[in-house]
Amino acid sequence: MFKIREYCDDDLNHLQKVLSQPSNYQQTFQLPAPSSIKLKQQVSAFLARENHFIFMLEHIDHKKVIGRANLYCLEPPRHHSARFGFNIDEDYQNIGAGNALLEELINFSQNKLNLKKLVLTVYTDNNKAINLYKKFNFREDGLIRKFAFRDGKYVDAYHMSLELN
């Protein structure tokens, strides 16, 4: 049902569409709807760094990009760890796309990069994401109060992690 592959320049419009959806930008730590020029600059700068990856999620039957994930390895002394984030198109949520993408991130991190830990930050009210992370055995490591400013108020976030084999 899904195919996961590396980002290519042809993905920019699909990426912009997903990142512009309210359910996506409201649950991330980014400002809404960057211009295509700004987004292209951000993607280029991200990928120019060593050990930074963007994966695209395609729906095979619909022949359409429906999500993306970014993964970046941390600098020493935390080089055994990586941070990640992902977004799924609003029209394709709750059909297993997040499971597929997270499973691939874990597999890639363990088997290609030999990482020992994945870490993330998630808003405390993003129950859908938190439940997905817990399904994959992520644990809440701490609460960060007033982590970000969203919709006119400060909101909290959890720091979560997964120990890899």
Q: Give me the CATH number covering residue 24.
A: 3.40.630.30
Does residue 99 fall inside a structural domain? Answer: yes
Q: What is the mean pLDDT of residues 135-162?
A: 96
Does residue 14 fall inside a structural domain? Answer: yes
Range of the domain at 39: 2-120+127-137
Does residue 50 fall inside a structural domain? Answer: yes
Give residue 24's pLDDT band: very low, low, confident or very high (50, 70, 90). confident
Q: What is the pLDDT of residues 51-108, one digit of tens each?
A: 999 999 999 999 999 999 999 999 999 999 999 999 999 999 999 999 999 999 999 9
Does residue 58 fall inside a structural domain? Answer: yes
Q: How many domains does the chain have?
A: 1
What pLDDT, on the 0 to 100 scale, is given for residue 33? 64
DSSP strand pairing (64-73 vs 52-59): antiparallel
Does residue 19 fall inside a structural domain? Answer: yes
Q: Which helix (H) or strand (E) is 130 found in, with range? A: helix 127-135
Q: How far apart are CA 96 and CA 94, in angstroms?
A: 6
Question: Of 27, 61, 43, 16, which Cα lies nearest the Cα of 133?
Answer: 27
Q: How far apart are CA 90 and CA 55, in angstroms?
A: 18
Q: Which helix (H) or strand (E) is 101 found in, with range? A: helix 97-111
Q: How far apart are CA 79 and CA 39, in angstroms?
A: 27
Does residue 38 fall inside a structural domain? Answer: yes
Does residue 76 fall inside a structural domain? Answer: yes
The answer to whether 5 and 54 have CB atoms below 8 angstroms apart is no
Instruction: Write down the pTM of the prediction.
Output: 0.91
Q: What is the mean pLDDT of residues 28-55?
A: 87
Q: How far apart are CA 7 and CA 11, in angstroms?
A: 7
Does residue 150 fall inside a structural domain? Answer: no
Q: Which helix (H) or strand (E) is 70 found in, with range? A: strand 64-73
Give residue 29's pLDDT band: very low, low, confident or very high (50, 70, 90). confident
**Given a cut of 70, is residue 15 above it in pLDDT?**
yes
Q: How far apart are CA 29 and CA 133, in angstroms?
A: 17
Share of the chain above pLDDT 90, in %: 81
